[in-house]
Amino acid sequence: MPPGETRSYIDIAREIGCRSPRAIGQANGSNPIPILIPCHRVVAADGSLGGYSGGEGPATKRYLLALEARARPAAATGELTLFPPDGGQRQGTTR
């Protein structure tokens, strides 16, 4: 799922043909690399955060979701750049 978007445990279970949203929760809780496999984007069916085993728990989950939400509009419009447009060269300076 794209950065800044969430899905519920039950949505993911249905999408992959699993009968148990609880199994999705257990898989998320066992995720050894939560930054690479973004399990913080999975929420409860009612939209509440649910649990999170990374960092400081739910506080970290809230932080990651908020960080992605702030970055998403810039990325969608192409305004998010990783490098300065001049390639890092500043006028009047030498390297």
What amino acid positions are annotated as catalytic residues? Answer: 39
Angle, nearest 10°, between helix axes 9-16 and 21-29? 110
Find out whether 84 and 59 touch, Cβ atoms under 8 Å: no
